[in-house]
Structure 1
Amino acid sequence: MSTFNVPRKEEVNSTNQAIFDSLEEALGFVPNLYATYAHSNNALQNYLNFANAKTSLKAKEKEVVNLAVSQVNNCIYCLSAHTAIGKMNGFTEDQILELRAGKASFDNRLDALARLARNITENRGATDNDVLNNFFEAGWTKENLIDTIVLVGDKTISNYVHSTTKVPVDFPVAKPLEAVEA
Protein backbone atom coordinates (compact mmCIF):
# COMPACT_ATOMS: atom_id res chain seq x y z
CA MET A 1 0.00 0.00 0.00
CA SER A 2 1.23 3.46 -0.82
CA THR A 3 2.48 5.73 1.90
CA PHE A 4 2.07 8.63 -0.53
CA ASN A 5 -1.16 10.52 -0.70
CA VAL A 6 -2.27 12.17 -3.90
CA PRO A 7 -2.27 15.84 -2.90
CA ARG A 8 -5.45 17.82 -3.41
CA LYS A 9 -5.40 21.31 -4.85
CA GLU A 10 -5.72 22.99 -1.45
CA GLU A 11 -2.67 21.05 -0.20
CA VAL A 12 -0.20 22.39 -2.78
CA ASN A 13 1.44 25.76 -3.33
CA SER A 14 -0.14 28.48 -5.48
CA THR A 15 2.04 27.66 -8.51
CA ASN A 16 0.92 24.03 -8.41
CA GLN A 17 -2.70 25.09 -7.82
CA ALA A 18 -2.57 27.08 -11.07
CA ILE A 19 -1.11 24.04 -12.87
CA PHE A 20 -3.89 21.86 -11.44
CA ASP A 21 -6.42 24.34 -12.86
CA SER A 22 -4.73 24.19 -16.28
CA LEU A 23 -4.65 20.39 -16.22
CA GLU A 24 -8.33 20.22 -15.25
CA GLU A 25 -9.18 22.56 -18.09
CA ALA A 26 -7.10 20.65 -20.65
CA LEU A 27 -7.72 17.05 -19.52
CA GLY A 28 -10.87 17.24 -17.42
CA PHE A 29 -8.94 16.06 -14.33
CA VAL A 30 -5.53 16.13 -12.69
CA PRO A 31 -3.86 12.75 -13.20
CA ASN A 32 -2.71 11.27 -9.90
CA LEU A 33 0.88 11.00 -11.08
CA TYR A 34 1.02 14.70 -11.99
CA ALA A 35 -0.56 15.59 -8.65
CA THR A 36 2.13 13.52 -6.93
CA TYR A 37 4.84 15.68 -8.51
CA ALA A 38 3.20 18.57 -6.63
CA HIS A 39 4.57 17.27 -3.33
CA SER A 40 7.51 19.38 -4.53
CA ASN A 41 7.01 23.10 -5.01
CA ASN A 42 8.94 22.93 -8.30
CA ALA A 43 8.91 19.40 -9.74
CA LEU A 44 5.50 19.51 -11.44
CA GLN A 45 6.29 22.67 -13.41
CA ASN A 46 9.80 21.45 -14.20
CA TYR A 47 8.53 18.06 -15.36
CA LEU A 48 5.74 19.51 -17.52
CA ASN A 49 8.19 21.94 -19.14
CA PHE A 50 10.48 19.01 -19.91
CA ALA A 51 7.71 16.70 -21.11
CA ASN A 52 6.12 19.37 -23.31
CA ALA A 53 9.34 20.72 -24.82
CA LYS A 54 9.73 20.85 -28.61
CA THR A 55 10.89 17.64 -30.24
CA SER A 56 11.38 16.22 -33.72
CA LEU A 57 9.08 13.32 -32.81
CA LYS A 58 5.39 13.53 -33.67
CA ALA A 59 2.77 12.70 -31.01
CA LYS A 60 2.22 9.18 -32.34
CA GLU A 61 5.98 8.53 -32.42
CA LYS A 62 6.31 9.76 -28.83
CA GLU A 63 3.70 7.19 -27.79
CA VAL A 64 5.80 4.44 -29.37
CA VAL A 65 8.68 5.44 -27.09
CA ASN A 66 6.46 5.96 -24.03
CA LEU A 67 4.92 2.50 -24.35
CA ALA A 68 8.21 0.65 -24.93
CA VAL A 69 10.00 2.43 -22.08
CA SER A 70 7.13 2.03 -19.61
CA GLN A 71 6.97 -1.70 -20.37
CA VAL A 72 10.70 -2.20 -19.76
CA ASN A 73 10.40 -0.21 -16.53
CA ASN A 74 7.23 -2.14 -15.60
CA CYS A 75 5.22 0.99 -14.77
CA ILE A 76 1.53 0.09 -14.72
CA TYR A 77 0.52 3.74 -14.28
CA CYS A 78 2.37 4.92 -17.40
CA LEU A 79 1.37 1.82 -19.37
CA SER A 80 -2.26 2.54 -18.54
CA ALA A 81 -2.03 6.26 -19.33
CA HIS A 82 -0.12 5.72 -22.59
CA THR A 83 -2.41 2.90 -23.69
CA ALA A 84 -5.26 5.42 -23.51
CA ILE A 85 -3.18 8.13 -25.23
CA GLY A 86 -1.95 5.63 -27.83
CA LYS A 87 -5.56 4.80 -28.72
CA MET A 88 -6.31 8.54 -29.01
CA ASN A 89 -3.39 8.71 -31.47
CA GLY A 90 -4.86 5.95 -33.66
CA PHE A 91 -3.15 2.77 -32.42
CA THR A 92 -5.25 -0.37 -31.97
CA GLU A 93 -5.11 -2.49 -28.82
CA ASP A 94 -3.02 -5.13 -30.64
CA GLN A 95 -0.61 -2.50 -31.96
CA ILE A 96 -0.23 -1.06 -28.46
CA LEU A 97 0.62 -4.49 -27.06
CA GLU A 98 3.18 -4.93 -29.80
CA LEU A 99 4.71 -1.49 -29.15
CA ARG A 100 4.96 -2.34 -25.46
CA ALA A 101 6.97 -5.41 -26.51
CA GLY A 102 9.34 -3.09 -28.35
CA LYS A 103 8.35 -3.80 -31.92
CA ALA A 104 5.87 -2.78 -34.62
CA SER A 105 5.35 -5.35 -37.39
CA PHE A 106 2.72 -3.03 -38.88
CA ASP A 107 5.20 -0.19 -39.65
CA ASN A 108 8.93 -0.58 -40.42
CA ARG A 109 9.83 2.93 -39.29
CA LEU A 110 7.93 2.66 -35.99
CA ASP A 111 9.43 -0.81 -35.50
CA ALA A 112 12.94 0.68 -35.60
CA LEU A 113 11.87 3.37 -33.13
CA ALA A 114 10.25 0.90 -30.73
CA ARG A 115 13.26 -1.40 -30.85
CA LEU A 116 15.60 1.52 -30.19
CA ALA A 117 13.57 2.83 -27.23
CA ARG A 118 13.40 -0.62 -25.69
CA ASN A 119 17.12 -1.26 -26.26
CA ILE A 120 18.18 2.10 -24.80
CA THR A 121 16.05 1.49 -21.72
CA GLU A 122 17.08 -2.12 -21.17
CA ASN A 123 20.76 -1.30 -21.61
CA ARG A 124 20.65 2.03 -19.72
CA GLY A 125 21.93 3.90 -22.75
CA ALA A 126 24.52 1.39 -23.98
CA THR A 127 22.63 1.00 -27.25
CA ASP A 128 23.30 -2.04 -29.43
CA ASN A 129 24.96 -1.01 -32.72
CA ASP A 130 22.68 -3.23 -34.83
CA VAL A 131 19.60 -1.61 -33.29
CA LEU A 132 21.06 1.84 -33.85
CA ASN A 133 22.00 1.08 -37.47
CA ASN A 134 18.50 -0.30 -38.11
CA PHE A 135 17.06 2.95 -36.70
CA PHE A 136 19.06 5.04 -39.17
CA GLU A 137 18.36 2.65 -42.07
CA ALA A 138 14.63 3.11 -41.40
CA GLY A 139 15.03 6.81 -42.18
CA TRP A 140 15.47 8.33 -38.74
CA THR A 141 18.03 11.11 -38.20
CA LYS A 142 20.59 11.98 -35.54
CA GLU A 143 18.16 14.64 -34.31
CA ASN A 144 15.51 11.94 -33.92
CA LEU A 145 18.01 9.80 -32.02
CA ILE A 146 18.82 12.54 -29.50
CA ASP A 147 15.14 13.42 -29.09
CA THR A 148 14.34 9.74 -28.53
CA ILE A 149 17.01 9.48 -25.82
CA VAL A 150 15.58 12.60 -24.15
CA LEU A 151 12.10 11.08 -24.29
CA VAL A 152 13.40 7.83 -22.75
CA GLY A 153 14.70 9.96 -19.88
CA ASP A 154 11.42 11.86 -19.59
CA LYS A 155 9.37 8.69 -19.40
CA THR A 156 11.81 6.99 -17.03
CA ILE A 157 11.35 9.86 -14.56
CA SER A 158 7.59 9.26 -14.42
CA ASN A 159 8.08 5.50 -14.30
CA TYR A 160 10.35 5.92 -11.28
CA VAL A 161 8.01 8.39 -9.55
CA HIS A 162 5.18 5.88 -9.80
CA SER A 163 7.31 2.87 -8.92
CA THR A 164 8.38 4.65 -5.74
CA THR A 165 5.08 6.26 -4.71
CA LYS A 166 2.62 3.66 -6.04
CA VAL A 167 -0.19 6.20 -6.22
CA PRO A 168 -3.47 4.79 -7.59
CA VAL A 169 -3.83 4.40 -11.36
CA ASP A 170 -6.63 6.68 -12.55
CA PHE A 171 -6.79 5.45 -16.16
CA PRO A 172 -8.27 2.16 -17.39
CA VAL A 173 -5.64 -0.36 -16.30
CA ALA A 174 -3.51 -1.70 -19.16
CA LYS A 175 -3.84 -5.39 -20.02
CA PRO A 176 -0.89 -7.70 -19.26
CA LEU A 177 1.60 -8.17 -22.06
CA GLU A 178 1.75 -11.95 -21.62
CA ALA A 179 0.27 -12.73 -25.05
CA VAL A 180 2.95 -10.88 -27.00
CA GLU A 181 6.47 -12.19 -27.50
CA ALA A 182 9.23 -9.60 -27.46
Structure 2
Amino acid sequence: MSDAMGEFPVPDIEELPDDVRARIEAETEDAGFTPNVFAAFAYRPSHFRAFFAYHDALVEQTALEREEIEMLIVTVSGVNDCYYCTVAHGALLRIYADDPYLADQLAANHRAADLAEPHRTMLDVAVKLTDSPGEVDSEDIERLREVGFSDEAAWDIASVTAYYNLSNRMANFADMRPNEEFHTLGR
Protein backbone atom coordinates (compact mmCIF):
# COMPACT_ATOMS: atom_id res chain seq x y z
CA MET A 1 0.00 0.00 0.00
CA SER A 2 2.94 2.36 0.45
CA ASP A 3 3.08 3.03 -3.30
CA ALA A 4 -0.58 4.14 -3.49
CA MET A 5 0.38 7.79 -4.00
CA GLY A 6 3.52 9.78 -4.49
CA GLU A 7 2.85 13.11 -2.83
CA PHE A 8 1.57 12.19 0.64
CA PRO A 9 2.38 9.43 3.12
CA VAL A 10 0.18 6.35 2.98
CA PRO A 11 -1.00 5.45 6.48
CA ASP A 12 -0.29 2.09 8.04
CA ILE A 13 -3.55 0.14 7.95
CA GLU A 14 -3.05 -0.97 11.55
CA GLU A 15 -3.09 2.66 12.71
CA LEU A 16 -6.38 3.56 11.01
CA PRO A 17 -9.74 3.91 12.78
CA ASP A 18 -11.59 0.60 13.02
CA ASP A 19 -14.30 1.51 10.47
CA VAL A 20 -11.80 2.69 7.86
CA ARG A 21 -9.60 -0.37 8.38
CA ALA A 22 -12.66 -2.65 8.10
CA ARG A 23 -13.73 -1.06 4.81
CA ILE A 24 -10.23 -1.42 3.36
CA GLU A 25 -10.05 -5.04 4.49
CA ALA A 26 -13.45 -5.76 2.90
CA GLU A 27 -12.41 -4.15 -0.39
CA THR A 28 -9.14 -6.09 -0.33
CA GLU A 29 -11.02 -9.34 0.17
CA ASP A 30 -13.45 -8.53 -2.67
CA ALA A 31 -10.80 -7.46 -5.17
CA GLY A 32 -7.99 -9.75 -4.12
CA PHE A 33 -5.78 -6.69 -3.65
CA THR A 34 -6.15 -3.28 -2.00
CA PRO A 35 -7.19 -0.71 -4.62
CA ASN A 36 -4.81 2.20 -4.07
CA VAL A 37 -7.61 4.76 -3.86
CA PHE A 38 -8.61 3.25 -0.50
CA ALA A 39 -5.10 3.44 0.86
CA ALA A 40 -4.66 6.99 -0.42
CA PHE A 41 -7.93 8.41 0.91
CA ALA A 42 -7.21 6.80 4.29
CA TYR A 43 -4.68 9.62 4.72
CA ARG A 44 -7.65 11.68 5.95
CA PRO A 45 -10.14 9.28 7.59
CA SER A 46 -13.01 11.79 7.77
CA HIS A 47 -12.61 12.46 4.04
CA PHE A 48 -12.36 8.72 3.37
CA ARG A 49 -15.74 8.18 5.06
CA ALA A 50 -17.47 10.98 3.14
CA PHE A 51 -15.85 10.09 -0.18
CA PHE A 52 -16.84 6.43 -0.04
CA ALA A 53 -20.31 7.09 1.40
CA TYR A 54 -21.09 9.25 -1.63
CA HIS A 55 -19.46 6.73 -3.97
CA ASP A 56 -21.66 3.98 -2.53
CA ALA A 57 -24.80 6.09 -2.97
CA LEU A 58 -23.87 6.80 -6.59
CA VAL A 59 -23.44 3.16 -7.54
CA GLU A 60 -26.09 1.57 -5.30
CA GLN A 61 -29.00 4.03 -5.57
CA THR A 62 -29.06 4.97 -9.22
CA ALA A 63 -31.20 4.99 -12.31
CA LEU A 64 -28.10 4.11 -14.36
CA GLU A 65 -26.66 0.73 -15.22
CA ARG A 66 -23.22 0.04 -13.73
CA GLU A 67 -21.77 -0.08 -17.25
CA GLU A 68 -23.09 3.46 -17.85
CA ILE A 69 -21.54 4.69 -14.60
CA GLU A 70 -18.16 3.26 -15.62
CA MET A 71 -18.53 4.78 -19.11
CA LEU A 72 -19.00 8.18 -17.50
CA ILE A 73 -16.04 7.71 -15.17
CA VAL A 74 -13.63 6.61 -17.89
CA THR A 75 -14.68 9.39 -20.25
CA VAL A 76 -14.47 12.16 -17.63
CA SER A 77 -11.18 10.75 -16.32
CA GLY A 78 -9.76 10.77 -19.84
CA VAL A 79 -10.71 14.42 -20.28
CA ASN A 80 -9.09 15.19 -16.92
CA ASP A 81 -5.90 13.22 -17.69
CA CYS A 82 -6.44 11.12 -14.59
CA TYR A 83 -4.13 8.13 -14.94
CA TYR A 84 -5.45 6.37 -11.83
CA CYS A 85 -9.13 6.49 -12.79
CA THR A 86 -8.73 5.74 -16.50
CA VAL A 87 -6.79 2.59 -15.63
CA ALA A 88 -8.80 1.46 -12.58
CA HIS A 89 -12.23 2.24 -13.98
CA GLY A 90 -11.17 1.14 -17.44
CA ALA A 91 -10.74 -2.32 -15.91
CA LEU A 92 -14.20 -2.14 -14.33
CA LEU A 93 -15.74 -0.98 -17.62
CA ARG A 94 -14.15 -3.88 -19.48
CA ILE A 95 -15.73 -6.22 -16.95
CA TYR A 96 -19.21 -4.63 -16.76
CA ALA A 97 -19.50 -4.00 -20.51
CA ASP A 98 -17.82 -7.30 -21.43
CA ASP A 99 -15.88 -5.29 -24.02
CA PRO A 100 -12.08 -5.24 -24.16
CA TYR A 101 -11.93 -2.07 -26.32
CA LEU A 102 -14.55 0.37 -25.07
CA ALA A 103 -12.58 1.71 -22.10
CA ASP A 104 -9.56 2.58 -24.24
CA GLN A 105 -11.79 4.31 -26.79
CA LEU A 106 -13.60 6.36 -24.15
CA ALA A 107 -10.42 7.33 -22.32
CA ALA A 108 -8.88 8.62 -25.54
CA ASN A 109 -11.92 10.18 -27.28
CA HIS A 110 -15.50 9.15 -26.64
CA ARG A 111 -16.56 10.60 -29.99
CA ALA A 112 -14.51 7.90 -31.76
CA ALA A 113 -16.22 5.04 -29.92
CA ASP A 114 -19.00 2.97 -31.43
CA LEU A 115 -21.87 4.10 -29.18
CA ALA A 116 -25.64 4.14 -29.33
CA GLU A 117 -27.13 7.64 -29.43
CA PRO A 118 -28.24 7.67 -25.76
CA HIS A 119 -24.72 6.88 -24.58
CA ARG A 120 -23.11 9.34 -26.98
CA THR A 121 -25.44 12.07 -25.69
CA MET A 122 -24.78 11.06 -22.07
CA LEU A 123 -21.02 11.34 -22.60
CA ASP A 124 -21.30 14.59 -24.59
CA VAL A 125 -23.14 16.16 -21.66
CA ALA A 126 -20.64 14.75 -19.14
CA VAL A 127 -17.71 16.18 -21.12
CA LYS A 128 -19.43 19.55 -21.37
CA LEU A 129 -20.07 19.54 -17.60
CA THR A 130 -16.38 18.70 -17.11
CA ASP A 131 -14.86 21.15 -19.61
CA SER A 132 -17.35 24.02 -19.59
CA PRO A 133 -19.62 23.74 -16.56
CA GLY A 134 -20.87 27.31 -16.89
CA GLU A 135 -22.24 26.52 -20.35
CA VAL A 136 -24.43 23.61 -19.26
CA ASP A 137 -28.10 24.56 -19.41
CA SER A 138 -31.61 23.19 -19.71
CA GLU A 139 -31.00 22.23 -23.34
CA ASP A 140 -28.46 19.66 -22.17
CA ILE A 141 -30.96 18.16 -19.75
CA GLU A 142 -33.57 18.12 -22.50
CA ARG A 143 -31.13 16.31 -24.81
CA LEU A 144 -30.79 13.58 -22.18
CA ARG A 145 -34.58 13.31 -21.87
CA GLU A 146 -34.97 13.13 -25.67
CA VAL A 147 -32.73 10.07 -25.90
CA GLY A 148 -34.60 8.28 -23.13
CA PHE A 149 -32.98 9.20 -19.82
CA SER A 150 -35.37 9.87 -16.95
CA ASP A 151 -34.94 12.94 -14.77
CA GLU A 152 -33.42 10.69 -12.09
CA ALA A 153 -30.94 9.27 -14.60
CA ALA A 154 -30.04 12.78 -15.80
CA TRP A 155 -29.38 13.79 -12.19
CA ASP A 156 -27.27 10.67 -11.70
CA ILE A 157 -25.27 11.43 -14.88
CA ALA A 158 -24.43 14.86 -13.49
CA SER A 159 -23.70 13.46 -10.01
CA VAL A 160 -21.28 10.82 -11.28
CA THR A 161 -19.61 13.39 -13.52
CA ALA A 162 -19.21 15.89 -10.69
CA TYR A 163 -17.98 13.27 -8.22
CA TYR A 164 -15.34 11.98 -10.59
CA ASN A 165 -14.18 15.47 -11.44
CA LEU A 166 -13.42 15.77 -7.72
CA SER A 167 -11.87 12.31 -7.58
CA ASN A 168 -9.71 12.98 -10.67
CA ARG A 169 -8.40 16.20 -9.24
CA MET A 170 -7.47 14.55 -5.93
CA ALA A 171 -5.86 11.59 -7.70
CA ASN A 172 -3.80 13.92 -9.89
CA PHE A 173 -2.87 16.19 -6.97
CA ALA A 174 -1.79 13.31 -4.73
CA ASP A 175 -0.17 11.35 -7.58
CA MET A 176 -2.30 8.27 -6.93
CA ARG A 177 -0.95 5.30 -8.85
CA PRO A 178 -3.14 2.53 -10.27
CA ASN A 179 -2.48 -0.97 -9.01
CA GLU A 180 -0.71 -3.21 -11.52
CA GLU A 181 -3.67 -5.59 -11.36
CA PHE A 182 -5.99 -3.03 -12.98
CA HIS A 183 -3.95 -3.00 -16.19
CA THR A 184 -4.85 -6.56 -17.07
CA LEU A 185 -8.33 -7.03 -15.55
CA GLY A 186 -11.03 -7.72 -18.10
CA ARG A 187 -8.65 -8.20 -21.02
Q: Determine if the TM-score, normalized by the shorter chain, exceeds 0.5.
A: yes
**Distance in 2 (alpha carbons) for counterparts of 1:5 and 1:91:** 36
- The alpha-carbon deviation at position 29 of structure 1 amounts to 2.0
Q: CA deviation at 1:17?
A: 1.1
| Residue deviations 1:114-145 (CA, integer Å, cap 9, x gap) | 11111111112532666544322211122111
Q: Does 1:45 align with 2:54?
A: no
| Deviation sequence 1:14-46 (CA, Å, 0-9, x none) | 221111111112222221122111111212221
What is the TM-score of this pair, normalised by structure 1? 0.84
Asked if structure 2 preserves the Cα contact closer than 8 Å seen for 1:65 and 1:151, the reply is: yes
In structure 1, distance between residues paired with 2:134 and 2:48? 25
- What secondary structure sits across from 1:105 in the alignment? coil
Match of 1:55 in 2: 62
Q: What is the TM-score of this pair, normalised by structure 2?
A: 0.82
Quickly say closer, same or farther: Cα 1:17–1:60, change in 2 above 3 A. Answer: same
- CA 105–135 in structure 1, closer or farther in 2 if over 3 Å, else same: farther
Residue 20 (str. 1) matches residue 2 (str. 2): no
- Counterparts of 1:47 and 1:62, CA distance in 2: 16
Q: Which residue of 110, 130, 133 maps to 1:102? A: 110
| Contact 1:76/1:173 (<8 A) preserved | no
Any conservation in 2 of the 1:38–1:44 contact (CA below 8 Å)? yes
Identity %: 24
For 2:80 and 2:183, the matched residues in 1 are separated by: 16
Dislocated runs of 4+, deviation >6 Å: none
Does residue 75 (structure 1) correspond to residue 79 (structure 2)? The answer is no
- Per mean C-alpha deviation after superposition, the further-off stretch among 132-141 and 145-154 is 132-141
1:5 aligned partner, one-letter code: P
User: Over aligned residue pairs, what C-alpha RMSD do you find?
Assistant: 2.2
Q: From the superposition, tell whether residues 142 and 67 of structure 1 become closer, same or farther in structure 2 (CA, over 3 Å).
A: same
| Conservation of the 8 A alpha-carbon contact between 2:83 and 2:177 | no
For residue 172 of structure 2, what is the aligned residue in structure 1?
163
- 2:116 aligned with 1:112, yes or no? no
Q: CA deviation at 1:167?
A: 2.7
For 1:55, what is the secondary structure of its paired residue?
A: coil
Aligned to 1:178: none
What residue ranges of structure 2 are gaps of 5+ in the alignment?
none
1:138 aligned onto 2:147:
yes
SS at match of 1:169: coil
* Aligned partner of 1:89 among 96, 113, 116: 96
Change in Cα spacing, 1:3 to 1:98, as seen in structure 2 (3 Å) is closer
Q: Distance in 2 between matches of 1:19 and 1:13?
A: 10
Aligned residue type for 1:44 = F
Paired residues in the alignment total 174
- 1:91 is displaced (CA, Å) by 4.7
